[in-house]
Chains A and B, each alone.
Chain A
């Protein structure tokens, strides 16, 4: 029991001080028939040594095909980027890794100042006034944004564009449905101009769009924002590839009222889908309706600048059933990784990284479009685009995986597009980041050439 410091002697002495005959006696409030010993958990294995556990976990790890093991083009809301070694080293420092929520600000200034820097970075990237200290992930942040819009407008319908990630659509539909909010899902279609403004009526609280869209297309949202605002609704913009914000105009500059996003691309590994870092930013005037934690600047008793968690009067531990949300966890450590990586990139590095992603994706799209029998579907994109394979994509993805190439995502199989699955059947969404080499693209192009002509 290497994690348990008490010795038998310690336990005996502690029981003597308590005046109890045994540890079991301390469970005297538990009805006897409900109290078990380890023998009642035969299906659960006994404890193992560090070496044994490491071997068992390594066996699981080896039984998957890691992204780095060959050509890799999977994106769809999570992106494989190079994370500088210093980022992981810093977030493994005990003082970041093993701290709790900064409820005692005087001895949590490290976490708090980092969150203040995170909030600033997110506000700058998204072009908004304020950001919170992070939510679980982009999909739940999108649902929170929908509910926030309902609180602000006192209307009860949210329109979700076809450009939005299928999982995000499913999460929004599920969570808002339980909250009694109507959700109108526009068809998922890579080429739909997303004329979602037409779906907005006097009962619509908000429209949720994604930019770049799930299928890759990049859009100027200015006209949409104007149309949505003209009908008294809010525009929520989701960004699942945060690196794009180094090249694409910010949602704030295009008229968004709330920006949600997934920050995994900065500082965080793929980690099989989580934990990741939900971004949430908005205009100052909506500040008090914003869910989640906020770090604010203040002064201490000596007048020195310091940071605290603030505006907690919106939160569940004060307002309970009147709270803006039930959230009482952030993605603190993932947000810290985000902040460190973005600090290392800086203005120059972010612009460079975004340009590099875009150029490599653009070149890859040209190369793949030359494969006979397939067609590049969208003419605008950042680092992810959609191919029409002219035949069902899912089996092709499987065959390419068997050849050691993870070619991308066949969207027809995802939750959230059930109604549109037939129209999406032949599509393949391909992501290209700075980690994709010319050789990788060539391998994908030639494998696709063979598979599609077979």
Chain B
């Protein structure tokens, strides 16, 4: 361990206290006009106690958050191979256009005559999404991928109910994102999980056996979370439709096939699209997301709003909540409009030829990693992989090094670790997704580091792995303690003392 200093700081290793530990009454970080004389209309419901916020000047606040930012890994600092999360470069042009006053300084409840540009932008985005997927209708409202799943399932349920056929069961492969079953339950369904085959795909025979007249929908991720294309997707679609159920596409991995495959042709009745994954909107440390849903003709009549329509005179109108059998409102206002702007700027930048090239490069990069890493690591399934490649912990057997240890050791090599322990169907899973925006040099650097780590693990250097990370702002953090004794906020020292007594 590095010896302590008086400040806790050493070189660029910064110890930054909480903002609450830095305030001094009497400081302020903003300029505000004097409060004019006016009659109070608060009806006596006035805040009595202070809020408890610290008072700081602007430079202190700026330094605090700059120093905090320096403790973060990000896609702009290096490769972020989180499988299934898709961390690709976020173009700054997207940020520039999103900040144009006609998008950023616009209120969704302004009269429709004053928001024609924003509606036009949304209409064009919707057109791109329906054209790229071959679908008939789109709703832009869902705030994230999981919200999109919920919206799609609501539409499915609404369609069943509209024809007087309330079904109860939704079938989800066990390799699906955990949000799939959770969304189905939120929509009032019971969930049946079905296992996959030894080659990482849905077991068609098991699925067919599970189908019946009470099945409302089957949810399928394609490409799936093992990084593989579900070859039998059409057979599955036919079987699903034969029992009168709908086929839900989890489009989280659309980035592997965008510009090459139209999901409508796979037989999906609806599919959500994570704009940040396929269309490069930034994820900001956990969000925001945006999860538009596209619908085939079979579900277009129940698709929720907003639906933006272009009139013959070129003006736009909006059906926020379509009415009839359609699903009601999913979120206040229009959805994540700021993400729409960024996604559309990205689509326009790449175009049909660029999207084709991007999905191809993403798949190429994943297969390149799989080919090279197979020298020391154990692929869970034979390729070809799609945009991500999956390894199990077979190569670590007998080394005393776990997937977690291996991932933490990557931090000391300067990389953000891959997705660990997902999908659940593979033991000690390591899911690696390079994306199309990494150069060959960056990919080779990652490969060299991983191969070297694998060799060191096999050579018996387990202790070094257990001690990792050693060079990050923090060593390994005690997650058990955090969960057993949750401390979820700062408490003023006086209160803390009183509470302890």
Q: In the complex, how many angstroms separate the beta carbon of B34 from the nearest chain A beta carbon? A: 8
Q: For A104, what are the chain B residues with a Cβ–Cβ distance below 8 Å? A: 73, 407-408, 411, 416-417
- Restricting to B170-192, which residues have a CB under 8 Å from any CB of A? 177-179, 181-188, 191
Query: Which one of A155-163, A197-205, A327-335, A446-454 is at the B interface?
Result: A327-335
- Cα–Cα, bound, A346→B383 (Å): 56
Which of A186-194, A225-233, A378-386, A419-427 contacts the other chain?
A378-386
Say which residue of A47, A60, A113 sits within 8 Å of B18 (CB atoms): A113
Q: Which of B264-290 contact A (CB under 8 A)?
A: 265-266, 280, 282-290
Q: Number of B residues whose C-beta is below 8 Å from A? A: 205
A120 and B20 in contact, given A104-B407, A179-B188 (Cβ under 8 angstroms): yes
Residues from chain A with a CB closer than 8 A to the CB of B218 are none
**In A337-386, which residues have CB < 8 Å from any B CB?**
339-340, 342-350, 352-353, 355-356, 358-363, 365-366, 379-382, 385
- Contact A348–B28 (Cβ < 8 Å): yes
**In contact, B101 and A35 (Cβ under 8 angstroms):** no
Docked-complex contact B82 and A61, CB < 8 angstroms? no
A363 contacts across to B, CB distance below 8 A: 36, 38
Give the shortest distance, in Å, between A363 (CB) and chain B (any CB): 5
Q: At the interface with chain A, which of B242-250, B391-399, B432-440?
A: B432-440
State whether the Cβ of B337 lies closer than 8 Å to any Cβ in chain A: yes
Q: 8 Å CB contacts to A: which residues of B80-110? A: 80, 82, 85, 87, 89-91, 93, 95-110
The reply to whether B105 and A38 form a contact with Cβ atoms under 8 Å apart is no
Whether A219 pairs with B43 at a CB distance below 8 angstroms is yes
Scoring A residues 307 to 337 as 1 if CB is less than 8 Å from chain B, else 0, what string do you get? Answer: 1101111011111111101111111111010
Bound complex: CA A65 to CA B16 (Å):
43
> From residue 104 to 135 of chain B, which have CB atoms closer than 8 A to chain A?
104-111, 113-118, 120-121, 124, 127-128, 131-132
Nearest residue (CB) in B for A47 is: B351
Choose from A29, A106, A137, A247 the contact partner of B332 (Cβ within 8 Å): A137
**Complex Cα distance A262/B143, Å?**
14
B450 at the interface (CB under 8 A from A): no
A217 CA to B333 CA, complexed, in Å: 22
Quick check: A401 and B154 within 8 Å, CB to CB? no
Q: B286, A4: Cβ atoms under 8 Å?
A: no
Report the minimum CB–CB distance from B54 to chain A (whole Å).
Answer: 6
Pick the contact of B131: A44, A72, A325, A356 (CB < 8 A): A44
- Asked if B10 is an interface residue, CB under 8 A from chain A, the answer is no
Most chain B CB inside 10 Å of its own CB: which residue of A86, A319, A327, A406: A327
Q: Are A96 and B284 in contact (CB-based, < 8 A)?
A: yes
Contact assessment for A92 and B45 in the assembled complex, using a CB-CB cutoff below 8 Å:
no
**Which of B48, B91, B187, B260 is within 8 Å of A27, CB to CB?**
B260
Name B143's closest neighbour in chain A (CB-CB).
A136
| Residue among B35, B38, B474 facing the most chain A CB atoms (10 A cut-off) | B474
Residues of B within 8 A of A329 (CB): 143-147, 286-289
Question: B344 at interface (Cβ–Cβ under 8 A)?
Answer: yes
Q: Does B203 contact A (CB under 8 A)?
A: no
From B47, B120, B260, give the contact of A249 (CB < 8 A): B47
- Which chain A residues lie closer than 8 Å to B209 at the CB level? none
Within 8 A of B (CB), among A154-197: 165, 167-168, 170-171, 173-175, 177-180
Bound complex: CA of A67 vs CA of B365, how far in Å? 45
Query: If A44-B351, A348-B55 touch, does A140 touch B147 (CB 8 Å cutoff)?
Result: yes
Query: What 0/1 readout, one digit per residue, does chain B (65-91) give for beta carbons within 8 Å of chain A?
Result: 110111111111100101001010111
In the complex, are the beta carbons of A321 and B51 less than 8 A apart? no
- Encode B50-66 as 1/0 by CB contact (under 8 A) with A: 11111110100110111
Q: Are the C-beta atoms of A17 and B43 separated by less than 8 Å?
A: no
Report yes or no: B357 in contact with A1, Cβ–Cβ below 8 A. yes
Q: Quick one: which of B336-394 are within 8 Å of A by CB?
A: 336-339, 341, 344-345, 347-358, 360-361, 363-365, 367-368, 370-372, 383-384
Q: Which of A29, A56, A319, A415 has the most CB of B within 10 A?
A: A29
A393–B368 Cα gap in the complex (Å)?
Answer: 63
In the complex, what distance in Å separates the CA atom of A120 from the CA atom of B149?
Answer: 31
For residue B334, which residues in chain A have a CB less than 8 angstroms away from its CB?
Answer: 272-274
Closest residue of chain A to B64 (Cβ to Cβ) is A343
State whether A353 touches B32 (Cβ < 8 A). Answer: yes
Given contacts A61-B103, A99-B75, A220-B45, contact A13 B440 (CB under 8 A): yes
Contact A296 B490 (CB under 8 A): no
Within 8 Å of chain B (Cβ to Cβ): is A10? Answer: yes
Could you mark each residue 133-147 of chain A with 1 if its beta carbon is under 8 Å from any beta carbon of chain B, else 0? 110111110000001
Which size class do A's interface residues fall under? Answer: 35 or more
> How far does the Cβ of B484 sit from chain A's closest Cβ, in whole Å?
9
Return A289 CB to nearest CB of chain B, in Å: 13
Residue B498 is within 8 A (CB to CB) of chain A in the complex: no
A 429-453 binary contact with B (CB < 8 Å = 1; else 0) = 0000010000000000000000000
Which chain A residues (37-95) contact chain B, with CB distance < 8 Å? 37-38, 40-48, 50, 52-54, 56-69, 72, 74, 76-78, 80, 84, 86, 88, 90-95
- For A64, the chain B residues whose CB sits under 8 A away are 102-103, 106, 110, 114-118
Are the CB atoms of A401 and B288 closer together than 8 Å? no
Decide yes or no whether B472 CB sits under 8 A from chain A. yes
- CB nearest to A122 among chain B residues: B489
Give, as a whole number of angstroms, the nearest-CB distance from B406 to chain A: 13
Check A116–B117 contact: CB distance below 8 A. no
- Residues of A within 8 Å of B113, CB to CB, are 398, 401-402
Inter-chain contacts of A50 with B (CB < 8 A): 93, 349
Question: Within the assembled complex, what's the spacing in Å between the Cα atoms of A176 and B322?
Answer: 19
Known: A48-B351, A326-B150, A379-B41. A349 touches B29 (CB 8 A): yes
Q: In whole angstroms, what is the CA distance A93 to B71 when docked? A: 12
Distance (whole angstroms) from the CB of A278 to the closest CB of chain B: 9
Q: CB-CB < 8 A to B93: which residues of A?
A: 50, 53-54
Residue of A nearest to B228 (CB): A29
Interface flag for B465 (CB, 8 Å)? no
Q: Which residues from 20 to 51 on chain B have a C-beta closer than 8 Å to any C-beta of chain A?
A: 20, 23, 25-30, 32-33, 35-51
B231 within 8 A of A: yes
Q: Report the separation of the CA atoms of residues A66 and B41 in the bound assembly, to the nearest whole angstrom.
A: 30
Q: Is B487 an interface position by the 8 A CB rule? A: yes
Instruction: Tell whether, in the assembled complex, residue B150 and residue A362 are in contact, meaning their CB atoms are under 8 Å apart.
Output: no
Q: Which chain A residues border B191 with CB–CB below 8 Å?
A: 320-321
* B12: interface (CB < 8 Å): no
Q: Does B328 contact A (CB under 8 A)?
A: yes
Contact between B118 and A93, CB atoms less than 8 A apart? no
Whether, in the assembled complex, B198 has its beta carbon less than 8 Å from a beta carbon of chain A, the answer is: no
How near does chain B come to A387, taking the closest CB pair, in angstroms?
14
| Contact A333-B486, Cβ < 8 Å, known A64-B106, A270-B106 | no
Query: Are A171 and B364 touching (Cβ within 8 A)?
Result: no
User: In the assembled complex, how far is the CB of residue A334 from the closest CB belonging to chain B, in whole angstroms?
Assistant: 6
Given A136-B288, A171-B332: A95 and B70 interface contact (C-beta under 8 Å): yes
Closest 7 CB pairs of A and B: A333-B284, A61-B102, A273-B333, A63-B117, A47-B351, A344-B29, A273-B108
19 contacts between A and B (CB under 8 A): A10-B440, A14-B367, A18-B370, A26-B384, A95-B76, A99-B283, A107-B411, A137-B143, A174-B154, A174-B327, A270-B107, A271-B106, A301-B478, A306-B477, A329-B289, A334-B284, A336-B65, A363-B38, A398-B111
